Amino acid sequence: MRLKEGTIGIEYIVSRLDLGMHLKDRLQSLGMITGTQIEVIHKKKNGTMVIDLRGTRFALGSHITDKIEVTPCQEK
């Protein structure tokens, strides 16, 4: 599923980044790599959202959240 479809309060694992090289490199340098756990903190209807990535909050536009594939974390 795409991150844009995510739900507030749910944790996800990043499975793929379908972004341009520059933006992909920037997100990876901030710690968003395949296998990273993220949590949706806030979401707007258009897909813009605030996520928690490794203890830091980031705002991502819908053009970015639509190109990040995630899978829901399994309950422990």
Question: Where do the domains of the chain lie, and which CATH numbers do they carry?
Answer: 3-72 (2.30.30.90)
For the entire predicted model, the pTM comes to 0.88
Task: Report pLDDT digits (tens) over 22-43.
Answer: 999 999 999 999 999 999 999 9
Please report, for the chain, how many H helices and E strands are present, in that order. Answer: 2, 5
Give the pLDDT band of residue 7 (cuts 50, 70, 90): very high
Q: Tell me the C-alpha distance between 9 and 40, whole Å.
A: 6
pLDDT of residue 21: 95
